[in-house]
Amino acid sequence: MSRQIKTFTYQSPEYVQALKLRDKILRKPLGLKFTEAELQKDEHDIHFGLFEDGKIVACLTLTQTENGRMKMRQVAVDDNTQSKGFGSQLSLAAEKYAIENGFAIMFCHARKAASGFYLKLGYKIVGDEFTEVNIPHYVMEKKL
């Protein structure tokens, strides 16, 4: 079985695969659809995917922000590959990328249900719980 982590660009074939995975894991369960404005935000971001035999099984997006901070968002792992460490592998690859490009802090808006995943990776909750896409979230960050 061939496993590979790679970056890809907006509107590439890999991006289309990642978008389908994001929709399946992050949007459909909440009864939501991506808006055109949300998708346009992806254009200047860095997209990561973990591929197994050419098929995407996990993805995330990085958005550069100010003050040496990088935002990790749209983290999705396919249902049948969850709990295999793929999300952790991908997150660590994204952190390595951020460090290599001069960023000091990685942060995210983590779903409350996923906060344990980020805590295991060394992230800390900063601030109070808030609602985003109709569910509870925390801002979580990690010094790189």
**pLDDT for position 80:** 84
- Strand locations in the chain, DSSP E? 3-8, 46-52, 55-64, 69-77, 105-111, 124-125, 130-132, 135-143
Q: If you ran DSSP here, which 8-state letter would residue 62 be given?
A: E
Lowest mean pLDDT among 31-35, 67-71, 116-120: 31-35
6-53: per-residue pLDDT in tens? 999 999 999 999 999 999 999 999 998 888 888 898 999 999 999 999
Give the class (CATH, top level) of 3-109.
alpha beta
72-106: per-residue pLDDT in tens? 999 999 988 777 889 999 999 999 999 999 999 99
**pLDDT for position 37:** 87
**pLDDT for position 82:** 78
Q: Please compute the mean of the pLDDT values over residues 54-59 and round it to a whole number.
A: 94
Residue 90 · residue 60 · CB < 8 Å: yes
What is the sign of the dihedral through the CA atoms of 36, 40, 46 and 51? positive
pLDDT at residue 115 greater than cutoff 90? yes
